[in-house]
Structure formats: structure tokens, C-alpha cells
Amino acid sequence: MMGCESSDQDGNFWSQQDNAAPAAAPAANENNQGGAQAQAADAGGDAAATAGDEAPFSAFRFSYGGFNGSGARLSAPRIANLRISGGNLSYSWAGPTLSAWGMGNSQADAICCLFVMNDAGQWIGGKFDWISTSRTSRSLSHVTGGYGGWSLRGVPNPCQAAFVIIDAKGSRRSNVIAGTWQR
């Protein structure tokens, strides 16, 4: 097994922690990193604003990619089952897709954002690509290749990683999914 890949067909890609998955999390996603309600309390947010998040969106520093989506509010699209290994990332839809934002299946008008935890314990990252409902996998070549200032200096390998989709205006976002990235 390398990175986040797993042969487990039940979606059990990560080691479970003692905290149970919150009721709002998709049933098929067992990649919870500690419970959305506990994270909301830690981040100073309320549970409704972070339902289904596996990492604290409010802690993300938009450092790369030339896009700041820090003001985005949780909206209808739901993603699950982050698989990230080497130079690729994939996920699945766990509920409403980007059609909830009025986008067609192949309309690549949403922004992919990746965040990684650095040696100082901070979530750094930002935009690395555009995405549509029809694309559930992305290359991480922009992240590893320096696009928009991207740098992994000071980021351990493996590292904690989190993925979120944000609309181009930076006002709406999907839930956050997270896991471990072995580069």
C-alpha cells in the first residue's frame, strides 16, 4: 500500500481515531480526522458551518495559486473518500455535485484547493487547478511544480493533506476531505 491507496472496498482508507464520524458526514466516508463538531469548537465556528469537514477550513492559509477562498461558506456539494498518493488525487461525490451551483457536468468552473500541514503545524496551500463534476481525479503536478508559488518546503513527507472545492467567486465551498499524502 502506498500513500492513501487501499484495496478496502468499504471506503476505510484511514486509521480511525477514537472520535466517531459525525452524523452529517457521508456514510461511505470513513476518512474522518476527528469529528466536525469538535473541529468547529476548536476553530471557533459552529457545527452547521463546518458539517462534514474532516479538517478545519477556518485554519487554512491560502498561500498559493493566486486565489483566496477563505471567506467561502459551506454549501451543497459533498465530496468523500480522498485518495492521494504520489502525484495524483481522487475523490468521489457523496451527495450534491457542482450542479448545485448551476454548473454543467463538464463545466470546469470550480477551483480545486489543496492544503498540507507543515512542520509548524499550520495548514498551508491554495488553488492548484480547475474542476468539473465529471472530473474526480486531478494531477498534483501544479503543486509539485511550483504553480502560483506552490512550495512544499517545510512540509514533511508523508504529510496531512486536505482537499476542498470552491466556486470561482470564493463565496461557496464543498465540505473538506482529508488524509495522509505520501509523495
pLDDT per position as a tens digit, 108-162? 999 999 999 999 999 999 999 999 999 999 999 999 999 999 999 999 999 999 9
pLDDT-wise least confident of 28-37, 56-65, 96-105: 28-37
In 31-98, DSSP assigns E strands to: 60-64, 73-74, 79-85, 88-93
Where helices occur in 61-175 by DSSP H, the ranges are 141-144
- Residues 6 or more apart whose Cβ sits within 8 Å of residue 8: none
Domains of the chain, first to last = 36-181 (2.60.40)
Task: Decide if pLDDT at 5 tops 70.
Answer: no
Diameter of the chain measured on Cα atoms: 40
pLDDT score recorded for residue 118? 98
Kindly report the average pLDDT of the chain as a whole number: 81
pLDDT score recorded for residue 13? 37
> CA 72, CA 44: separation in Å to the nearest integer?
16
- Span 74-94, average pLDDT: 96
> CA 162, CA 56: separation in Å to the nearest integer?
9
pLDDT tier at 49 (50, 70, 90 boundaries)?
low
> CA 29, CA 83: separation in Å to the nearest integer?
11
